[in-house]
A and B are shown apart, each in its own frame.
Chain A
């Protein structure tokens, strides 16, 4: 086993283990902090796949933005001084059966399917390629994305302001 294989196993373990913590933890703060491990692990997987720019975006937006947002929401909606910050779950047994069957079917399909492979797998810096694609091939979706972000920004402000009762 080479070093890179060992690192890959470690990253996979961190990703899946943290995701399991998110799914099974009783305390919502532990769940929220376990998301950190999952997001960083997924960024490591992107690096293994030669996607350096996507890995950087993952760290910036997921860890720096979404995770902080989720932590703020947790702190604003729970009394942190309470000892019991519960994260109630219902119907665990049927859900476990469903996802057990789902995982089995997915992994069986993945093993059986003959995936198409590219002739050669290249490792090169991707930032320039992605910039070109955004400004030529994907220009319209790129501009639409900025409109969606503007809409989300205004929507979040409108939803979260206090209502003034007449």
Chain B
């Protein structure tokens, strides 16, 4: 592991992805699931920027990273609005409460 090797960044990104996947798999709280999704998106972004820096040498990967950040912002806004709507209906944000998709 050193800051001048591609593989060290890929390893950090793999660990972040796995922790995000763990959060998504185990949490029953809808907001925690969204936090796990953010971790996964961040790990994908590290890969984009790392490959853009070490392998391609141009800024295309950084453009994709910015698009992913933009979509993550949109996803967080809509996702948290849905979570608030579920909370108003069921008075809990346990994802198992909303599994029937009706009152």
Contacts and interface: CB of A to CB of B under 8 A. Distances in A.
Contacts of A15: 12, 16
B77 A91 contact: no
A28 B32 contact: yes
A130 interface: yes
Interface of B: 1-4, 6-12, 14-23, 25-29, 31-32, 34-36, 38-39, 42, 45-46, 49-50, 52-60, 62-63, 65-67, 69-78, 80-85, 87-88, 93-94
13 contacts: A16-B16, A23-B26, A32-B35, A42-B42, A69-B80, A70-B31, A70-B38, A70-B80, A102-B21, A107-B11, A115-B54, A115-B55, A126-B59
A61 interface: yes
A116 B55 contact: yes
Interface of A: 4-5, 8-9, 12, 15-16, 19-20, 22-23, 28, 31-32, 35, 38-39, 42, 45-46, 48-51, 53-54, 57-58, 61-62, 65-66, 69-70, 72-74, 76-77, 87-92, 95-96, 98-99, 102-103, 106-107, 110-111, 115-122, 126, 129-130, 133-134, 138, 141, 145, 148-149, 151-153, 155-157, 159-160, 162
List of 7 A-B pairs having minimum Cβ-Cβ separation, nearest first: A152-B74, A118-B57, A159-B81, A106-B14, A8-B3, A160-B81, A156-B81
B77 A156 contact: yes
A12 B37 CA distance: 20
Contacts of A159: 78, 81-82, 84-85
B32 A38 contact: no
Given A91-B25, A92-B26, A103-B18, A149 B80 contact: no
